[in-house]
Amino acid sequence: MQMPDFYWKFITIHAPKKISGTMKFSSIFHTILLLGALQGFILGVLLFRTRHQKPANRFLAMVLFLLGLCNCYLWMSETDFGTPWVGFLLNFFPGIMVMPVGPLIYFYIRANVEPGFRLSKKQRWHFAPVIIDWGPQLMAITFMAGLLLNLTPNRPGPWGQAIDDYNVYADIPRWMSVSVYLWLSYRCLSTQTQLDAARRRWFRQFLTCFGAFQVIWLLYLVPYVVPATTNFMLDTFDWYPVYIPMVALIYTLGIKGYLLPAQAPAPVKKTAAPPAEVVQEAMPLLQKAMEQDKLYLDPALDLALLARHTGLAPKTISAVLNQHAQKSFSEYINGYRVDAFRQKVGEAAFAHMTIMGIAYECGFNSQATFQRCFKQVTGVSPREYISQSSEKKQPMH
């Protein structure tokens, strides 16, 4: 079958690199890449299907899947399965997606250290920079569409050069993204005190392994993005200094992450009731923070923030709420949020909003949390409550 004219230029545009020399991985490196890809896919499926630590393990599953996809993409680019059409078609498939890896690592840590963590709609914007990974494919599709519609001249040279250059420099924001989210993950982990020693050690090892990988990647990246040495790096080393450590990441972190047992619930400690004078001082401050300052409207409100606002010690707030109000911190805060929802849902100013839109306005950041808390407080679902309220407002005939 005769190849189209533009094929011979585009066949060299295998993300994430431009091939300027003749060096190829030896068969042993091809095998390592393939095994790494298969391991990433298999462990990703196993983690995605686990029943314990489900939200956290799904974040880790996506990390392993994306790393496995990178290995598979490079392996297919190197081998072509014996037919050049494979290399041509790979130009239109975003097989190197690194921008989501950093957010997934961060949310994996948060889901493990924050009970009840769920990804909110606002947090999904962390994944928007994935468009950077799609840049070469979008340019290739644009060229092909223009060519087929006779809108683009049959001159693939400038497009191919643009894609080559893009593939080189796109690694800079990719490296920066993973590094920033690793720092955020370290900071998140350092603020947690409820983790047992074994799990804390695992999460530190997890982040340290990714940190070491970032150092290796940086050592390769610096000469790679310098135009005078780009071709030298590819001709001399190809991508194996980065991808072989990536395979090691998949094996080490995937297997240990899969074998990590679920965290046992922390034992409930019985605390003595706070003195009456402490309750008399604390309750007005807490009520003022809720009823006047309306801190419950902040989705990020936690015990530490409330303590800073009121000037009370966190353990004092917990003791007063547990022993005097007979509520946990989350029950106390979410009670105010439910009351706010019940008030707003009957106001004309909020009539145009959806149920979850009003819930977000009241401080909730998760649909599952809102549904659960609302039913605990009222005994009915939000939709049932609205229906009952509407029936009561109808005039009697």
Residues 297-343: tens digit of each pLDDT: 998 899 999 999 999 888 888 888 888 888 888 889 999 999 999 88
Q: Lowest mean pLDDT of 23-32, 51-60, 94-103, 298-307, name the range.
A: 23-32
Chain segment 154-169, per-residue pLDDT in tens: 787 788 788 888 888 8
pLDDT at site 279? 84
DSSP 128: G
For residue 193, the model assigns a pLDDT of: 64
- Tell me the average pLDDT across 106-125: 85
Mean pLDDT of 174-198: 85
How does residue 52 score in pLDDT terms, banded at 50, 70 and 90? low
> Per the confidence metrics, is the pTM higher than 0.75?
no
Among 73, 62, 87, which Cα is nearest to 36's? Answer: 73
Q: Indicate whether 257 pLDDT > 90.
A: no
Mean pLDDT, the chain, integer: 81
Task: Answer for the pair 105, 185: CB distance below 8 angstroms, yes or no.
Answer: yes
pLDDT at 207 over 80: yes
Contacts of residue 304, defined as CB under 8 A and 6 or more positions apart, other chains included, come to 314
Residue 391 confidence (pLDDT) = 66
Q: What is the pLDDT of residue 396?
A: 44
Residue written as token pair 């890449």: 33
Q: Is the pLDDT of residue 7 over 70?
A: no
Judged against a pLDDT cut of 70, whether residue 24 lies above it is answered with: no
Residue 340 makes CB contacts below 8 A (sequence gap 6+) with 296, 297, 361, 362, 363
Give percent of the chain above pLDDT 90.
23
> Which residues, 6 or more positions from 220, have their beta carbon under 8 angstroms from its beta carbon?
233, 237, 241, 242
**92-102 burial code (b ≥16 CB/10 A, e <16):** eebbbbbbbbb
| Whether pLDDT at 141 is above 90 | no
pLDDT of residue 247 exceeding 80, the answer is: yes
Which pLDDT value is given to residue 116? 73
pLDDT, residue 81, reads: 64
Taking only the tens place, the pLDDT of each residue in 233-242 is: 877 877 788 8
Domains of the chain: 7-259 (1.20.1070), 276-391 (1.10.10.60)
Can you give the pLDDT at residue 231?
A: 82
Distance CA(203)–CA(108), nearest Å, equals: 10
